[in-house]
Amino acid sequence: MAASSASEYIKHHLGNLTYGQLPAGYDRSCHGHEQTLTDATWTFACNGQEASDMGFMAFHVDSLAWSGGLGIIMCLLFWLGARKASAGVPSGFMNFVEIIIEFIDTQVRDSFHGKSKLIAPLSLVIFCWVFLMNLMDLIPVDVVPMTFQWIMVHFFGWSAHEAYFRIVPTTDPNITLSMSISVFLLVIFYSIKVKGVGGFLGELSFKPFEANGLLGKLILLPINLVLEVIALLAKPVSLGLRLFGNMYAGEFVFILVAGMMGTWQAVAAWPWAVFHILVITLQAFIFMVLTIVYLSMAVEEH
């Protein structure tokens, strides 16, 4: 494959199916037609430039659909497992479910030092959901996107280069950061719930540097506030970007191998896929453990 075509192949596979609003007067070339929009229009982006011009309010339809669909599948599997639960010795799928629940429960007991009925179920959902989203990375990179491309070309009149479709939600920073921001909001909620508004603000204002007198506290307050706010905001950013960076790198390697090897990609990518099984599990585990640790820090009154 030529370098230019390989580059286009990689860029196309890393693009999202984006739905957003283009402004009035926008000149676009889409589905083989040139047109100037007379009104602001909600539509699917035909290329990366249109996706960029749609701005912040655009939706990555593929990421939302796959993450939501996998979440529904996860809930359905656990619901089916709960229906079969009994007092007897578990077997088959129920045994697998109980192993996961016991594993998560052990992690919560070891890492969370407060009292909350939410943390264990939340940790279970995070681990299983992130694992399922990561697991999509093991599907050969051309199978689903090329199927989607064929459908859009033959039934909706799109051209092949306009049919973007990604199936690994955790390679989209919008998904990973939205999850980490949700954890961050829980951290704020538990901090205020346990310590009160005054305690929470005092923790930001009078730590890590302490002084005995009022004057010393006032002098150190700006320094403490800057350091603690940065440390607080760094938690969701690092939590989301860590997951995104690792999964994006893994997906990029698969796409690179596919671009170079063509039909031999399944054979060539097999060693990386075996190693990647450990990566996707580890990343789900790390996201879950850090969530537990951050929430535990939020409820520690001292």
DSSP letter for each residue of 239-254 = HHHHHHHHHHHHHHHH
With a CB cutoff of 8 Å and minimum separation 6, the contacts of 75 are none
Q: Among 47, 116, 174, 242, which one carries the catalytic annotation?
A: 242
* Domain with 255 in it: 3-15+131-299
CA distances, 233 to each of 110, 137, 226 (Å)? 25, 29, 11
**30 three-state secondary structure:** strand
Query: Token pair of 162, please?
Result: 């306009």
Q: Is residue 164 part of a domain?
A: yes
**Is 203 a member of any domain?**
yes
Please identify which of the residues 67, 191, 246, 296 carries the catalytic annotation. Answer: 246
Its pTM surpasses 0.85: yes
Compute the distance between CA of residue 228 and CA of residue 204 in angstroms, rounded to an integer. 5
Q: What string of pLDDT tens digits covers the 302 residues of the chain?
A: 444 477 788 888 888 999 999 999 999 888 777 888 889 999 999 888 899 999 888 999 999 999 999 999 999 988 887 787 776 666 677 788 888 889 999 999 988 988 888 899 999 999 999 999 999 988 888 889 889 989 988 888 888 788 899 999 999 999 999 999 999 999 999 999 988 888 888 888 887 778 787 888 788 888 888 998 999 999 999 999 999 999 999 888 888 887 776 655 656 667 777 888 899 999 999 999 999 999 998 888 66
Minimal CA–CA distance to 238: which of 300, 157, 183, 168? Answer: 183
Within a domain: 120: no
Alpha helices in 206-269 (DSSP H): 214-261, 265-268
Alpha-carbon distance of 52 to 131, in angstroms, equals: 29
Would you say residue 165 lies in a domain? yes
Whether 238 is a known active-site residue: answer yes
Q: Do the beta carbons of residue 244 and residue 172 sit within 8 Å?
A: yes
Name 143's Cβ contacts closer than 8 Å, sequence gap at least 6.
none
21 φ, ψ (degrees, to nearest 5): -105, 130
Q: What is the domain count for the chain?
A: 1
**Phi-psi region at 31: left, alpha or beta (left = phi > 0; alpha = psi -120 to 50):** left
Residue 143 lies in a domain: yes
Say which of 5, 7, 159, 238 is annotated catalytic.
Answer: 238
The CA distance from 62 to 98, in Å, is 32
Secondary structure class of 221 (helix, strand, coil): helix
206 occurs within a structural domain:
yes
Q: Is residue 23 part of a domain?
A: no
- Indicate whether 88 belongs to any domain: no
pLDDT tens for 58-76 read: 999 999 999 999 999 999 9
